[in-house]
Amino acid sequence: MATLSSTGAAAVFEGRKYHETTAAYALPNDNLEHQRLEQQHELLSGLMGGKLVHAPISHSIANALDIGCGTGAATHTIASAYPSTKVYGIDLSPVPEHLRTRLPNLGYIQGDFNAIVEKKPPDPRFLLGSYDYLFSRLLTYGITDWQAYVDRTAALAKPGAWIEMQEADYHWYRAPLPTSPAAPPETFTAHDLPLSDPDGLSHPSQAYRTMPFWSLMLGSLLAAKSLNPFAGSKIASHMLKAGLTDIRIRRYVSPTGVWPGLSPEAAAFGRYVNKHSPVTYGPVMRKLGRETGHNEKEVEEGVKDVEREFSGPNGSRMWFWIYVICGRKPPAT
């Protein structure tokens, strides 16, 4: 049974705990979610060849910010790799700091990033033009206005600073069956995209695009909360509009399930997504359905479809793309 907090957000829904702020973020913040985020961090690192930071930042930068830092896994990695940089992580929910050793150059702030940046008088930790590097990863379920979000990060950046966003685009692609013609070898490898084709529409993987019922249902529930499951491929153009330059786009195949042609790291990620998808998407669909007043029977059909999709030892054999987009605030002239 859902309990409603004073903000109207559900603090507990079907046994899972959620943040109680007015922010849009739709996923839980309990121990189970912390474990998922920790595992996801490790697997993403494998998927990206051990690389977290893609922007060409120098080791002498003074400060960095990880927005929506979750358990602090990425924040801690950045602070360890850049020991002379003061690194902050901000999140709606408290960061479980007991998971790692404390670092002298790392600090956490609890709050809604969008609200804190707009605060008047300004919070001294979020002064305009004060950061050398701003990073965020997997905020699709939390950001309702991506242009405003990118504009805010650009406003916080110093001239010459880099901004890096790592976000999914939840358009789905179905891997060919063993009996189908083989996919071109580059289909399942990471690649750079030009600014003229940030969606990769000319890439051979486009031929495998699919739109299962449950993803349509989830998409419409997210849209009813002004959330955009396809944000990853749009960020480059938001960065361009925000006045950033040197924009670089790289995307990584993120499988659900396992099939021939995947690297061991991609297969490990695929096993993880396959296992977590039904237990993550089902409850989220029910919660969003309740909050948006969606027809309950239809939502249940979506939940059943998602459970069907990810059943079986090798799961759904689909993939989506995770985009890494870096942009630079023009240096002062």
Residue 76 identity: H
Residue 34 identity: H
57 or 175, CB closer to ligand SAM? 57
Which residues face 3 on adjacent strands?
A: 12
Distances 243 to 80, 221, 240 between C-alpha atoms, Å: 30, 32, 5
Instruction: Looking at 182-295, list the stretches that DSSP marks H as alpha helix, in order from N- to C-terminal side.
Output: 213-224, 235-241, 264-292
33 or 199, CB closer to ligand SAM? 33
47 or 138, CB closer to ligand SAM? 138
Nearest distance from C-beta of residue 111 to ligand SAM, angstroms: 7
Residue for token digits 């490898």? 189
Which residues form the interface with ligand SAM (CB under 6 A)? 19, 23, 25, 27, 37, 41, 68-70, 73-74, 90-93, 112-114, 137-139, 142
73 or 318, CB closer to ligand SAM? 73
Nearest distance from C-beta of residue 239 to ligand SAM, angstroms: 18
143 or 318, CB closer to ligand SAM? 143
Nearest distance from C-beta of residue 97 to ligand SAM, angstroms: 14
Nearest distance from C-beta of residue 202 to ligand SAM, angstroms: 29
The DSSP bridge pattern shows strands 131-137 and 157-174 to be parallel
End-to-end CA distance of the chain: 58
Nearest distance from C-beta of residue 244 to ligand SAM, angstroms: 20
State both tokens at 7.
Answer: 């903000």
Round to whole Å and give the CA distance between 46 and 274.
17
